[in-house]
Amino acid sequence: MVWGVGWRGLVILVAVILVGAVAAGCGSGSGSGSEEKKIALLLPNERAVRYQDRYGFDRKIEEECPNCKVLFGNAQDSVKKQQEQAEQLLDEGADVLVVDPVEPHAASRIVRTAGQMDVPVVSYARLIPDSPVNYYVGVADEQLGQLQAEVLGTTLKEEGRKSGPIVSITIGTGGPQNAGARRTFDSSGVEIARSYAIDESVSEAEAFASARRAMQRAIDALGANGFAGVFTSNDQTAAGAIAAIRAAGIDPKAKPTTGSGSTLPAVKRVLAGEQGMSAYEATWQQSATSAKVAVKLLNEETVPSGWVTDKPDNGLKDVPATLWPATAVTSINLMSTVIPYRFIKPEELCVGRYAKYCAEADPKIPAPGGA
C-alpha cells in the first residue's frame, strides 16, 4: 500500500508511470529512441579533401538523424594513431564508423575490430581491402583515370606532340584509375617513356617525396627534352613531380602534369599554368552520401538499390558502392567547377601573385571580398 493513495489511485498512478516510460522511449526521426546515437568520422589528416567538407558531413548527419552525434578523429598521417582513434571511438560507443584511411591496407584492422563489436564500417574516399567493409563511397576511379589521360592527350595534341612521350607516376601498378588511363593512352597513341609506381601503402605525405624522386630519375634518364608531359595519380604526386621539374631548371608550364583532388595548392598551380589539370572528385556529394549511408546502417536499414552504382571487389567481398564521377578542373573552367561549388573560395585562391591569374582566367571570378 502506498500511504495516502487508495487502490484505485494506485492503479491510475502506475498507469501514468508506464505511459510516461513508453513516451520517453519513443523518439521521432532516424536513430529511433531518446538514446543518443554516435557516428564516427575518421580522416587521415587536415589536408585531405574530405576534411574540407567535414562540416558538410556533420550537417547532413544532423539533417538525416537529429538524434545523432558525430565523433571525429584526425590521424595526422599516422596509421597507428588512426587505429588508436578508431578503438577509442568504439569504446566511446560509436555505432557506425566512416573511415577515410591513412593507408587502406592497414585500415583493414579497423574494419575487423569494428566487426567484432557488430559496428558497421563505411569506407570513404579509398576502398579498404581484404576486410568485411559494409559500404564504399568514393570517386569512379576508372572514369577518373580516363579523364586525366584524355585532358593530357588533348593538351599534347594542341602543342603538336600528340604521341608525347610522357612520364607516368602512379600509385600502385593496378587499380581501375591506372587501367582507365592506360587504355586511353593506348587508344590515343600516347607513348609512355618512363613509368614509376609508388607503393600503395605510403601516406599522402610520403607520396610527394616518392613522386619527386621518381621524376628526378626520369629527368636523369630522358633529359629535359625527352618527355612532353607527366601523368600522376593525384595532387600530392603532381606536386612532387613538379618540384623535381622545377629543381631541374625546367619550366613546369612546358610539361603539362595531371593530378586529382582539387586541393587549394593544386588549383593555384593550375591557375598559374604550372599544373595542367586537377580533377574535382565530387567531394560534397561523397560527403553527403557517406552520411546518408551511415544513418541507414545505424538504423539497420537496407541501403536503397538505386544508390548502388558498382560493387568493386576488395579482395574479400564485392562491396556495394556509390561512386561519383570526377570533373576536370583547368584554368579556363574554374567558374563552372570548383568555385561555384564553393569547394575553392576566391578569397583563398585569388590572393598574392595569383590575383592576376584569376583575372586572366575568367573575369567573372569574384574578386576577394566580393564573393
Strand partners, 97: 40, 121
In this structure, which amino acid lies at residue 262? Answer: S
Number of domains within the chain: 2
Residues in the chain, total: 371
- 259 and 274 share one domain: yes
- 273 and 182 share one domain: yes
- 129 and 147 share one domain: no
- 96 and 231 share one domain: no
CA angle 39, 45, 49 (to 5 degrees): 85
- 308 and 262 share one domain: no
pLDDT in tens, the chain (371 residues): 333 334 334 333 333 333 333 333 333 344 445 588 999 999 988 765 555 668 789 999 999 999 999 999 999 889 999 999 999 999 999 999 999 999 899 999 999 999 999 999 999 999 999 999 999 999 999 999 999 999 999 999 999 999 999 999 999 888 899 999 999 999 999 999 999 999 877 777 789 999 999 999 999 999 999 999 999 999 999 999 999 999 999 999 999 999 999 999 999 999 999 999 999 999 889 999 999 999 999 999 999 999 999 999 999 999 999 999 999 999 888 888 888 877 888 888 999 999 989 888 877 787 776 44
- 215 and 356 share one domain: yes
Please give the Cα distance from 319 to 316 (Å, whole number).
9
Please give the Cα distance from 285 to 326 (Å, whole number).
11
Give the burial class of 41: count Cβ atoms within 10 A of its Cβ; 0-12 exposed, 13-18 middle, 19 or more buried: buried
Residue 88: inside a domain, yes or no?
yes
- 291 and 331 share one domain: no
Domain range for residue 187? 141-281+327-361
- Grid cell at residue 67: 538524434
- 126 and 194 share one domain: no
Residue with cell 592506360: 182
- 249 and 124 share one domain: no
- 269 and 214 share one domain: yes
The domain that holds 64 is classified in CATH as 3.40.50.2300
